[in-house]
Structure 1
Amino acid sequence: MKNSILFKSCGIFVATLLLAACGQEQGSTKKVEATAKNGVEKKTKDVLKVGFVYVGPTGDAGWTYAHDNGRKYLEEQLGDAVETTYVESVAEGADSERVINQLAKSGNKLIFTTSFGYMNPTLKVAKKYPGTAFEHASGYKQSENVGTYFDRAYEGRYLTGIVAGKMTKTNVIGYVGSFPIPEVIRGINAFTRGAQSVNPDIKVKVVWVSTWYDPGKEREAAETMILQGADVITQHTDSPGPINAAESKGVYAIGYNSDMSLYGKKSHLTATIHNWGPVYTAKAQAVIDGTWKAEDIWPGIAQGVVDLAPFNADIPKEVQDYVLAQKQAIADGSLHPFAGPVVNQAGETVVAAGTTMSDGDLLSFSWYVKGVEGELPK
């Protein structure tokens, strides 16, 4: 995720305990005996050991939960061909380097590091283990054995913005932000453009909580914006805290990372969700086949990696149908959430009509589009 070099609080002590509990052995694979039907002939096959490093707990209902679902999908798809290990709640920085190194040392030949702050530690460890493939989520640096991946979550953000724009009565939407970095700003802007495409009177308020995962702070931020008139709340944080706030205050909410409707049966309208499973399966299969290569990939709705959670029954059918039509348009390339004209907060046209914002510009967002209130923190 996480396009931030900011650290999350977590002790390496916990990570070390978890690694020890996994009982990892050194070596790239383990040999598993397979017995033929006649019970006589035996052969061995290699099992690919795959390690995952998570920035939050697997029970966060958000970012890490979605990645762990992807890990489970990988196991379901490749079965006995893989053996997976994960370490959760690993702080970005020195702690992550130690955990990544231990996973490599323990024989994992494919390692996914799932937060932006793991980028440099991943590269550092990869130099020591040239025979291991590393995949880093949301980073921009590659090497001979380090690839990068992310998804076009902004496509889902645009669609959920349409839902918010259609469902609000006050025309005020609250957005709980983690850190003011390109990934998060991109999502805020895509959401706002989606909302304004159906309701030009929309205003989006943002409260920054300076954390990826803190249920209390996230809920408090949502409640603050509800007091300011927001009747739809969304988020770029990892806990269901904002959904809980919306449910208790009788307003709507839009989740992120996964389907969070369990935490707001009345309030939860839908969510932008990450389907990491196909990415993890393809990368593991490539290692098994000997075709893996270091590359940067950025799949989205068209590839099934970004999707929407089921719609709340409160959303009128005509709105649901319209959102699904826009989703199809994004998938077939006839709609881009940042097709011009794109106007910034000051009213200046940044992307002209007839053109589309480049991937490079999307990846370096540092300004708000028209409709977002307030200033970006410095």
Structure 2
Amino acid sequence: MTTVAAQVKKLTMIQAITDAMKTMMKEDDSVLILGEDVGINGGVFRATEGLIEEFGDERVVDTPLAESGIVGTSVGLAVNGFKPICEMQFFGFIYPAFNQLITHATRMRQRSLGRYTVPMVIRAPYGAGVKAPEIHSDSVEALFTHIPGLKVVTPSNPYDAKGLLIASIEDPDPVLFIEPMRCYRTGRTQVPDEKYAVELGKAATVKEGTDVTILTWGAMVQDTVKAVEKWEAGKDASCEIIDLRTLYPLDKETIRKSVEKTGRAVVVHEAPETGGVSGDVISLINDAAFFYLKAPVQKVTGFDTPVPVYSLELDYLPSAQKIIHAVEQTLQY
């Protein structure tokens, strides 16, 4: 029996996201896209480029400048058999839609005693380091991980971007899919042509290690890998790097096993420190692996300020120096 090898191509993250939407729209006529400039212009980052030509303006819908309307309309479509993908041009623009998302999308299953579900995806670019104006670079994922009924997902590479987005579109409940802008075009990796899904709620071990577990997500995964690879040269110690991928629900088992193995942990994220997802991760470690810890868990985060103007943006983001300092602190404890 002859097995035909799967076709793969090297894509950027933004291309992989486009490929995921295109794949699902070809397979399922109920999948459609709504957002500002997603049609004729192909989206502010060109994530939907070419889709209106292929699928028409009834499935790729240019909306008014009204995030609450985009999300509210998507909720109505979802409970009536469609699978809408609605785009927020930037994560910081989602605030007007907060009410629709939190009081309707996430509660419909419970409110209707399971009669209705809301299979919708909200795509939103986020994160600093691209010299964007005020509000465009907000990293406020923790506002949404506190909301039951909403999954929060973020990829760090093109392969995961396609697989996680496909899994999000197929999920019966609402998914907030936040995309690190810094990763959109920073490199290409091999992505299969065919449909595949990366399971939601499952973290990925990006790098094996024995002495410290570093837990991170989004653009900070690449930054952490680069920092650790440089630091480990000539060292006896090694770091295990975990890409959480899904911020709610967290992959408790992968986190627990890794910390049990290494005995030390560092959490890295670019959002402000107070109330950040790092607090939930540390709480989970304390609950599940406390007696394995050889040192307190360290965290490296952004500051408790809005993202500053772009001349100061890189000073706001966790640096390689800060990440390595936290690693050394926990090793020396």
TM-score by length of 2: 0.28
Q: TM-score, normalised by structure 1?
A: 0.25
